[in-house]
Chains A and B, each alone.
Chain A
Amino acid sequence: MTAPASLLAPRPGTRARHARNRIATLSIWVALILVVVPLVAVIGAVIVKGASSISGSFLTQDINKITNGQKLAAAFAKVAGKQSTQDGIKPAIIGTLLITGLATLLAVPLGVLGGVYLNEYGGRSRFARLLRFLTEVMTGVPSIVMGLFVFSIVVVKTGFSLGWNVSGLAGSLALACLMLPVVIRATEEMLKLVPQELREASYALGARKSKTIVSVVLPAAAGGIVSGALLAVARASGETAPLVFVIGITRTTNTNLFSGGNVALSTEIFRNALSYGSYATARNRAWGEALVLIVIALSFTLLARLVTALFVRRRAA
């Protein structure tokens, strides 16, 4: 009979375990920094370079048509140490909000209905599985392909296309096509989380299926669906590729989405960033527009968080 070893005695392999622990901790910190640095750098660069462009007139003026003479004048002004202003992005801000807004109106109701069908009615039927597969494929379609799709069937006048010419509506259609599968998936996933017991409780009171879905299932999943939809909106508001060749261009605010060219912040950034070689002001404009766009996207995201939190609190209270 020997007394058991003290609890304080080192167990075999303790040193190696401590070493592994330190290495693991270190690699996690390195990974964290690798992720955070680019994120902070992007936001920081946009703020630093974009903030100087932001002014009252920048946000409220129309976009100036820049002639070569004005470019020259601007270059002289810069040499003389003066900033040429009189050049805003109001049409792009309005355009982004309107085009994204219409896209939301098109995609969210359809997407929610699609998600309801898949989870509540389709289930594991062959048709529902096909739809689910197509939705997944649609999620993977590159955004520029969506732009091309809308361009070829809505904008240009060839074959079976509608030939409506460029407009904000065409941009909204392209964005809606991008958002639709995201909203469908988010809705289906959220509805899956609603416990079957709640549906049965409603049926047991004499409620029909449609009534149960509208009054019990959708409200129970509303927080998740709204935040999923708003994240899709935030994502779409920054899309450039599907817009560049379907919305055309305008220099003055065009609130009519159904006719005439339009302009969005993302396409303005694209245009200005391309033309910066000879004209430094354009580069500054692009940074300023980028900052405004980030703020808009961020406010959608914050709104999504707020809505989710409100629903969660109301349920827990």
Chain B
Amino acid sequence: MQPTASQTDIVESVSIDTPSGVENGIHLEVGNPEIFQRDDAARELVFDIEKLKILYSGVVAVADVDLDIAAREVTAFIGPSGCGKTTVLRSLNRMHDTTPGAVVHGKILYHGEDLYGSRIDAAEVRRRIGMVFQKPNPFPKSIFDNVAYGPKINGKKRKDLDDLVEHALTRAALWDEVKDKLKRSALALSGGQQQRLCIARAIAVEPDVILMDEPCSALDPIATARIEDLMAELKREFTIVIVTHNMQQASRVADRTAFFTAELNDAGKRQGILVEYDSTNKIFTQPSDPRTEGYITGRFG
């Protein structure tokens, strides 16, 4: 009897939606309404990407990407495997700097500054533009040390760390679960808790943008629902860009959605391209490109 009862509690407490398809009006309304009223000129741009082209060891992975990302919105990148959506995401915080053979062409303006300019410090870029990865990757340290790591390397004083850690864990909706075991290893947490810890770790350095690379693909539906709730909460303060395979997830959390796909280029190689970028509602109800329509209706990909 005991386990059944507590399971019900969990499900109720996170108020999980049944993913019943894009026609369900509830999903489409989440986060979207004001976007339609908002004048495009009034959007505060965080990223302005022009003619982005990324190569791995000379092979084009993705090309001709033009899009802009606005502040305090959730922007989703969707598309089939190999379409370059993660590659584009990783270019937004210069993560490709650490990948041998990766070359980024084109222009990415971050608040009007060229992200790849010669005088830009990549470490400072990544401090402001945080990242949450596909697989939860906490450090093999204590829960406290995981969250405190970022503030510590960015020069926060030791005496402020306790408050910072509590604040970050609270905002990541993890504090109540871990407040009594902050000294325990982060690796003892469940997958969903580890991912929320990684989100707490990312927001502890007070970033401007949080990039999320399929943050829920390794998690069960309950943990996924919690992270999606969290995103809705976090977008009040942060700009969020999320890569996802899960179209329902994009329709639930994103204000704007970019659809990528992979096609053969002139050289006969598969290469990622941006097909369509619009408000999530538009993409999921009246896509202007037949390829987008084919993908979201499940005929392809």
Contact = CB atoms under 8 A, between A and B. Distances in A.
Contacts of B135: 197
B139 A205 contact: no
Nearest to A201: B137
B185 interface: yes
A128 to B, nearest CB: 12
B187 A205 contact: no
Nearest to A221: B140
Which of A207, A208, A220 gathers most chain B CB within 10 Å?
Answer: A207
Contact of A205 (B98, B127, B140, B185): B127
A205 B126 CA distance: 6
Interface residues of A, number: 23
Nearest to A313: B185
Contacts of A215: 149, 153
B150 A205 contact: yes
Contacts of B124: 206
A205 B205 contact: yes
A199 interface: yes
Interface residues on B, range: 20 to 34
Contacts of B123: 203, 206-208
Contacts of A199: 98
B298 interface: no
A216 interface: yes
Contact of B137 (A197, A207, A317): A197
Contacts of A195: 137
Interface string A197-220: 111111111111001000110011
A203 B187 contact: no
Contacts of B140: 198, 219-220, 315
Contact of A204 (B93, B141, B154): B93
A252 to B, nearest CB: 49
B139 A220 contact: yes
A201 B133 contact: yes
Interface in A299-317: 314-317
A123 interface: yes
B137 A205 contact: no
B126 A314 contact: no
Interface string B138-182: 111100000001100110000000000000000000000000000
15 contacts: A197-B135, A199-B98, A201-B137, A201-B138, A202-B139, A204-B93, A205-B126, A206-B126, A206-B154, A208-B123, A211-B153, A215-B149, A220-B139, A314-B185, A315-B187
Interface of B: 93, 95, 98, 100, 123-124, 126-128, 130-131, 133, 135, 137-141, 149-150, 153-154, 184-185, 187-188, 198, 201-202, 205
Interface of A: 123, 195, 197-208, 211, 215-216, 219-220, 314-317
